[in-house]
A = this chain, B = another copy of it.
Amino acid sequence: MPESVELSIADLTHVLEDFTRMHIRLPSERRLSFTTLSVLHTLAGSGPKRLTELAGSEQVTQSAITQMVTKLERDGLVERHPDPSDGRAVLVHVTAAGAAIVDGRRAERMARLSELADRLTPAERASIAVALPALARMVELHERPTGEDDAAAPEAAGTGTDTPRESTRRRR
């Protein structure tokens, strides 16, 4: 791999902006707002969370999360469980039905990206494949701004295809 190549942050920002806009406007079968889908995604990805945690990660008020969770619960997409370690708190779990929605949307995204990737050259696809671990590590660094730096581990096959979740494990 050529280490002499310089990474243009401006180009990276542009590309990620474009992918963001391309990703977001994917229509959803059920009438769920973007924030609602994002909450389901968070719960499916990182396990049960408190309402205050969700409010923080989605950058909406705690009041909005309470109302949204109430509606999601009525629709059977999440469940409220008491937090055994804190009588005030509620842990929101995603149900199988809720996870199915997240998975369905991911499948649609994969289908769309697959079509696009098919039209790239093998060399282009390979260049993306090589870069994926580094991109994944940027996300990880963002989620854990401090804390111990793991070794770089630039092994290409590292990010598990079938083991999607392990990044955020929280003690209680």
Q: Identify the A interface with B (CB < 8 A).
A: 1-25, 27, 29, 31, 34, 38, 41, 57-59, 106, 109-110, 112-114, 116-117, 119-139, 141-142, 147, 149, 152, 154, 156, 159, 161, 164-169
Is A9 within 8 A of B117, CB to CB?
Answer: yes
Interface of A is mostly: helix
List the B side residues contacting A154 at CB < 8 Å.
121, 123-124, 127
Q: How far is the CA of A10 from the CA of B129 in the complex (A)?
A: 11
List the B side residues contacting A137 at CB < 8 Å.
120, 124
Tell me, rounded to whole Å, the shortest Cβ–Cβ distance linking A1 to chain B.
6
Q: How far is the CA of A27 from the CA of B4 in the complex (A)?
A: 35
List the B side residues contacting A17 at CB < 8 Å.
23, 41, 106, 109
Q: How far is the CA of A127 from the CA of B4 in the complex (A)?
A: 10
Is A138 within 8 A of B113, CB to CB?
Answer: yes
Other-chain contact of A120, B25, B59, B121, B134 (Cβ < 8 Å): B134
